[in-house]
Amino acid sequence: MRTAAARIGALAGVALVAACAPAPTPHPVSAPAPPTPAPRTSPPPPACPPDGIRITELGVSAAMGLRAMGLELVNCGDRPYELRGYPAPRLRDADGDPIAVQIIPGARPITSGFDQPPARLILRPGERAGAALLWRNLVTDASVVASNGAHLDVAPLPGRPAHPVELDGPIDLGNTGRLGVSAWKRYDGPSATKPPDPSDLPSTEPTPDSRL
């Protein structure tokens, strides 16, 4: 009996000690690490067209109704590309229909000082050339609907394939129906070449005879 009582007392003491012991402190749970963002990658350059060139707009400068738009041609191919002459632009309206426009090599009779003659250019891969379009936003006859070119296609030279050129805004010819083009010129600088500023060009208005 004493042995049994001693065992019961020992078990009770162990239970009492266990009841008085402090509860174990739980280990802190670490928050999951945020996902690592994927590295940013630049979009791949557009594919080079089959003829090995790409034509883009460089923006438009405007002053007192005179507009000048810069164009850039880059040889994105793997062989030399020859140029000599003027770009051949074509305009289309918002519905995609062609707009009848008189293309003038140089700027006469739109303005003067825009008539540098063309030179032969051989563009190696990666080299660039520039040209410009020039027009006046004039309405001289209220009975003639003004022309707004919403879409522009440019061939590097007459007879070569035309390239669609994305525009920031319409080519607002008024009802003049005339668009001047400069000859291609080599650009030795970076791609961000600005278009010619009309304020740097003689702003002589066309004479009455030149409108004929």
155-160 long-range contacts, CB within 8 A, separation 24+: 155/87, 155/88, 155/89, 155/90, 156/53, 156/55, 156/73, 156/83, 156/87, 156/88, 156/184, 157/83, 157/84, 157/85, 157/86, 157/87, 157/88, 158/85, 158/86, 158/88, 159/88, 160/51, 160/88
**Is pLDDT at 22 greater than 90 in this prediction?**
no
Q: What is the CATH number of the domain that holds 87?
A: 2.60.40
Q: What is the mean pLDDT of residues 173-192?
A: 80
Would 92 be classed as within a structural domain?
yes
Arithmetic mean of pLDDT over the chain: 77
| pLDDT of res. 141 | 79
Least confident range from 31-35, 70-74, 150-154, 193-197: namely 193-197
Structure confidence by residue, pLDDT tens digits, 34-88: 666 666 666 676 789 999 999 999 988 887 778 899 999 999 999 999 999 999 9
| pLDDT of res. 209 | 36
Number of domains in the chain: 1
**Is pLDDT at 92 greater than 90 in this prediction?**
yes
**Is pLDDT at 26 greater than 70 in this prediction?**
no
How far is 53 from 76, CA to CA, in rounded Å? 5
Q: What is the mean pLDDT of residues 116-121?
A: 91
**Is pLDDT at 180 greater than 90 in this prediction?**
yes
Cα end-to-end span (Å), the chain? 137
Predicted structure pTM score:
0.69
Least confident range from 8-12, 27-31, 150-154, 183-187: namely 8-12
Would 171 be classed as within a structural domain?
yes
Q: What is the mean pLDDT of residues 108-127?
A: 86
How far is 160 from 86, CA to CA, in rounded Å? 12
Q: What is the mean pLDDT of residues 178-206?
A: 62
**Is pLDDT at 102 greater than 80 in this prediction?**
yes
Range of the structural domain that residue 148 is part of: 53-189
